[in-house]
Amino acid sequence: MGVQGFQEYLEKRCPGAAVPVDLLKLARTAGRQPPHHHHHHHHHPHHPSSLPPPPPPARILVDADSGLQRLYGGYQTDWVCGGEWNAMLGYLAALSQACLYQGGLELVVVFNGTLGKDRWPEWARRAQGQRQTAQLIVNHVGSKATPPPRAWFLPPACLSHCVRLAMFRFRVR
């Protein structure tokens, strides 16, 4: 189940659980809270000075399949020639740092790794569209010798896997 399926499940089973939020406002609110330090004081549960543990940070759930192009760093000028992998790593590092250290938010990225039989027609349509876009790109680069329009962005085949590995590297769940 991807993020979209999860959201549909929540909306159906838990009305009011999924609500739109202003991410900038959320980050500012979370950023004003003092940082959570994990000191290991030995408090006894019956001692009046023991405090409950701090609440976990707010989480931002990102659907990697829907936002793969943005996770790649947006429209790279050189994406036709194999992409700018170092730029992608820099972008993902900055994103994870901004969420956790500057915004007090936990970034959670979900990849839908399954392709059930019910998704085969969708996959076939997407593959056909990608083949057509690839043909447009090859024709454009061959005839005009310039980068193709940004609207024709076609992610490298291993992009999802590389983004997933980068997320592990930056300790994003």
173 or 40: which carries more pLDDT confidence? Answer: 173
Give the separation between CA 60 and CA 30, rounded to whole angstroms: 12
Give the separation between CA 109 and CA 113, rounded to whole angstroms: 12
Sign for the CA dihedral angle at 22, 24, 27, 28 comes to negative
The 10s digit of each residue's pLDDT in 100-155 is 877 778 888 888 777 778 888 988 998 999 999 999 999 999 999 888 888 888 87
pTM assigned to the model: 0.63
100 or 45: which carries more pLDDT confidence? Answer: 100
Quickly count: other Cβ atoms within 10 Å of residue 48's Cβ: 6
**Full 3-state SS string of 103-114:** CCEEEEEECCCC
Give the pLDDT confidence score for residue 158 in this predicted structure. 83
Residue 41 predicted with pLDDT over 60: no
In percent, the amount of the chain with pLDDT more than 70 equals: 79
User: Highest mean pLDDT range out of 34-43, 48-57, 89-98, 134-143?
Assistant: 134-143
**Does residue 18 come out as left (phi exceeding 0), alpha (psi in the -120 to 50 range) or beta?**
beta
Mean pLDDT of the chain: 78
Give the pLDDT confidence score for residue 39 in this predicted structure. 47
Rounded mean pLDDT of 83-110?
82
Alpha-carbon torsion, ordered 8, 104, 101, 33, to 10 deg = 170
33 or 9: which carries more pLDDT confidence? Answer: 9
Angle at 70 between CA 31 and CA 101, to 5 degrees: 20
- Is residue 163 within 8 A of residue 110, CB to CB? The reply is no
The 10s digit of each residue's pLDDT in 65-84 is 888 888 887 655 555 555 57
Strands 58-63, 105-110: pairing kind = parallel
Rounded mean pLDDT of 41-49?
54
Give the pLDDT confidence score for residue 132 in this predicted structure. 97
Give the pLDDT confidence score for residue 33 in this predicted structure. 56
Please tell me the number of Cα atoms within 13 Å of 172 on its side-chain side: 30
Give the separation between CA 2 and CA 63, rounded to whole angstroms: 7
Q: Hey, is 104 helix, strand or coil?
A: coil
